[in-house]
């Protein structure tokens, strides 16, 4: 057995001869044990490090599986849809704005009445809930709906691509269009005759949008905006504006009820000169597809059971028979 020392081989042999003795076995064992200890601890440290790394890797790789395997808390509540909330509270909250004959106040009771009010009541009955009406300026309807302060809006609103980007419309419930209303002695026949004139429009309505488009096209008009259509008609009566852009059916109702001498611009053949034709729609929030489907079902039932014809006869036919 060799002993590892700091001496050279030759010096070691000389030392052995001079001492005249053999190596001590005990000393050799001690030296070997020390060598093994020196080799053992580094290897053991590496072994422990490998175990730790493997354990951490295994734990990380198992985390997603263990998380996904967690049971779903049975007490977690799934949010109710808008229609379910309506049925739970027992009330359909509807935003509306004054647009005769679709919605206006009864002179005797001051309650809201009109074609749209009857339609909203029909839809509420279809859902077996009460109806709550919130009246507001027309321009506030869609922002209020987007803020979920109402469940739906109905106010003789035209279905337009711009509005469809903000909300969803139910199936159209009536057809109408935009017309020019003038004084009986006016010479206005088309939009080309509007240069230098004052045009009355309702704030936020399709007429206001069209008037602005005419300005952008180079037609020199002054736009006067009104909160209520009635005020624009009164100004037209006294000459504060030269023409009013307004809904056809709404205009017919005003002419009949007020016995006004104002008139709707017609073509050379005596037909109504529509600036645009449109469908009226009920608006809901983009996400409320179940409510939208329920409204469409109600509108279909309204037509099939004769309620639509009854509402039309009650609010519209009497004022439009001689004009259509």
> Mean pLDDT per 10-residue run, the chain (324 residues)?
48 48 47 49 52 43 42 63 94 96 95 98 98 97 97 96 96 96 95 96 95 96 95 96 96 90 93 94 96 98 96 75 32
Query: DSSP assignment of 57-112, as one string?
Result: HHHHHHHHHHHHTSPP-TTPPPPPPHHHHHHHHTEEEEEE--BTTTBEE-TTT--E
pTM of the shown model: 0.68
Residues 261 and 113 in one domain: no
- CATH number for 262: 3.40.190.10
Residues 185 and 254 in one domain: yes
Residues 149 and 265 in one domain: no
The pLDDT score that the predictor gives to residue 153 is 98
The pLDDT score that the predictor gives to residue 181 is 98
Residues 226 and 107 in one domain: no
Q: Is residue 90 part of a domain?
A: yes
The pLDDT score that the predictor gives to residue 182 is 98
**Eight-state DSSP code of residue 22:** P
Q: Is residue 167 part of a domain?
A: yes
Domain that holds residue 227: 176-278
The pLDDT score that the predictor gives to residue 13 is 56
Q: Is residue 147 part of a domain?
A: yes
Q: Is residue 103 part of a domain?
A: yes
Residue where the block lists tokens 């429009």: 201
* Total count of residues recorded for the chain: 324
Rounded to 5 degrees, φ, ψ at 46 are -65, -40
The pLDDT score that the predictor gives to residue 78 is 73
The pLDDT score that the predictor gives to residue 33 is 46
Q: Per the structure block, which two tokens stand in for 231?
A: 């005020």
The pLDDT score that the predictor gives to residue 128 is 97
Residues 157 and 199 in one domain: no
The pLDDT score that the predictor gives to residue 316 is 87
Residues 106 and 243 in one domain: no
Residues 288 and 272 in one domain: no
CB 221, CB 195: distance < 8 Å? yes
Residues 168 and 287 in one domain: yes
Q: How many domains does the chain have?
A: 2
Q: Is residue 67 part of a domain?
A: no
């Amino acid at each position: 057995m060799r002993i590892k020392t700091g001496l050279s081989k030759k010096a070691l042999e000389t030392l052995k001869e001079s001492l005249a003795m053999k190596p001590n076995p005990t000393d050799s064992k001690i030296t070997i044990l020390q060598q093994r200890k020196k080799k053992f601890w580094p290897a053991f440290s590496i072994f422990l490090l490998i175990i730790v790394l493997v354990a951490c890797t295994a734990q990380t790789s198992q985390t997603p599986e263990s998380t996904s395997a967690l049971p779903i808390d049975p007490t977690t509540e799934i949010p109710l849809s808008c229609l379910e909330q309506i049925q739970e509270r027992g009330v359909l909250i509807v935003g509306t704005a004054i647009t005769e004959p679709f919605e206006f106040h009864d002179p005797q009771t001051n309650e809201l009445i009109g074609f749209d009010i009857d339609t909203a009541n029909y839809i509420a009955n279809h859902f077996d809930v009460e109806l709550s009406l919130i009246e507001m300026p027309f321009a506030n309807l869609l922002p209020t709906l987007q803020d979920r302060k109402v469940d739906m809006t109905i106010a003789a609103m035209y279905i337009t691509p711009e509005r469809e980007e903000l909300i969803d419309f139910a199936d159209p419930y009536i057809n109408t269009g935009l017309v020019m209303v003038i004084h009986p002695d006016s010479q206005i026949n088309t939009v080309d005759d509007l240069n230098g004139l004052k045009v009355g429009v309702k704030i936020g309505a399709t007429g206001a949008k069209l008037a602005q488009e005419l300005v952008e096209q180079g037609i020199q008009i002054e736009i006067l905006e009104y909160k209520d259509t009635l005020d624009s008609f009164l100004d037209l009566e006294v000459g504060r504006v030269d023409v009013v852009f307004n809904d056809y059916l709404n205009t017919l109702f005003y002419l009949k009820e007020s016995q006004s001498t104002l008139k709707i611009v017609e073509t050379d053949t005596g037909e109504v000169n529509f600036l645009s034709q449109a469908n009226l729609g009920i608006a809901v929030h983009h996400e409320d597809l179940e409510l939208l489907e329920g409204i469409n079902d109600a509108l279909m039932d309204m037509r099939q059971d004769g309620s639509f014809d009854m509402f039309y006869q009650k609010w519209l036919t009497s004022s439009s028979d001689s004009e259509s």
